[in-house]
Amino acid sequence: MKKKNLFNIIFLLIFSWPFFNLSAYAEEEVNVYSYRQPILIDPFFEEFTKSTGIKVNVLHAKKGLLERLLSEGANTPADLVLTVDISRLKQFVDEDVLISIESSVLKKNIPSHLRDSKNRWFALSKRARIVAVSKERVTDGAINRIEDLADPKWKGKICTRPGSHAYNRSLLASVVAAHGESGAEDWAKGLVSNLARKPEGNDRAQAKAIYEGVCDIAVMNTYYYGKMKFNEKNPEQKKWANAINLVFTNQNDRGNHINVAGGGVVKYSKNKDNAIALLEFLTTPQAQKLYSSMNYEYPVNPTMTLSNELKSWGNFKEDELPIEKLAELAPIAQKIIDRVGW
């Protein structure tokens, strides 16, 4: 009797193991390392899970993700990296932690200048880096081009965050692309000579400085305007937004400089198909609408209609310089920033 029971137990263990094994891995998942703020990206993951049943596990960080990936190597749990600005995307490419993927969906939904030519990273949203001007102290049409910020007539009137920040470095890289290194350095010198104060703070701090009369002109990303305008947690910021007008520059030539948030699939991904599925989802109308309505970012998918709020800011022509070109020129831009003391 004992032998028979033992045989039954062994039989059940052997033949039921595949089913126990399948149930243990029945839940599909994808692991994301993200530099994006939780409030800006978590709603997208929730929608993705609702649509696909794939669970998204997220590690949010402000720094150190590249170093972590390099340390983890083939043992990393990460499948997908999400970050902001092309310079940070390029760092992941340079360290060979992202792989090239093939996706007809991504190629269809993202214009070629907004994705890597070797398909290692893809832009998922856009933001224009515009000039913000005081409604009270700067007349309409006084500034039309980013080059105008170097005009001596604006001496003591401009505020910016430090030039070495990724957003400003990319902006300067676009000027290098347009005017060469020498021309870009002349522009940067002129800009620095027009500063009302030493570069400090973030983009919102520049709008605050305009509101407080410290300066009349600043450089900022468009989505910060929306975040300030509808900020219920810090209603003081509504006053900052109400004090400025947005100027989309270079509308009669190359267009306004843009930068992007984007992502790529990790080289040692264990859930590659799910990582690609998430990237693809983030370019669909369902997700792109969220970028526009929740984050005040511009969609990369050209079929999308802008939210009413973004429409109210006005249509604009964007600089279609390939984003990866900005990454190539970023080291030159940084050298200029160091030389001119921005």
Domain boundaries along the sequence of the chain: 28-126+259-305, 127-257+319-340
**Stretch (H or E) spanning 186:** helix 166-193
Q: Which token pair is 129?
A: 């880096």
pLDDT at 8: 45
pLDDT at 10: 39
CATH 3.40.190.10 fits 28-126+259-305, yes or no: yes
pLDDT truncated to tens, each residue of the chain (342 aa)? Answer: 444 444 444 333 333 333 223 233 336 999 999 998 888 899 999 999 999 999 999 999 999 999 999 999 999 999 999 998 888 899 999 999 999 999 999 999 999 999 999 999 999 999 999 999 999 999 999 999 999 999 999 999 999 999 999 999 999 999 999 999 999 999 999 999 999 999 999 999 999 999 999 999 999 999 999 999 999 999 999 999 999 999 999 999 999 999 999 999 999 999 999 999 999 999 999 999 999 998 999 999 999 999 999 999 999 999 999 999 999 999 999 999 999 999
- Residues forming beta bridges with residue 57, ordered by sequence position: 31
What are the distances in angstroms from CA 79 to CA 66, 87, 342? 13, 20, 37
| Closest by CA position to 218, among listed 242, 237, 246, 238 | 246
Three-state DSSP class for residue 238: helix
pLDDT at 87: 86
Q: Which token pair is 146?
A: 């980013």
- Please spell the DSSP secondary structure of 56-85, one letter per residue: EEEEE-SS-HHHHHHHHGGG----EEEEES
- Comparing 28-126+259-305 with 127-257+319-340, is the CATH topology the same? yes
pLDDT at 12: 35
Q: Residues with Cβ < 8 Å from 3, sequence gap 6 or more?
A: none
pLDDT at 19: 26
The dihedral through the CA atoms of 231, 243, 134, 311 has a sign that is positive
Packing angle, helices 166-193 and 86-94, rounded to 10: 130
pLDDT at 51: 95
Give tens-digit pLDDT for 29-60.
999 999 988 888 999 999 999 999 999 999 99
pTM of the complete model = 0.88
Q: What is the chain's length? A: 342
CATH of domain 127-257+319-340: 3.40.190.10
Which amino acid is residue 123, in one-letter code? A
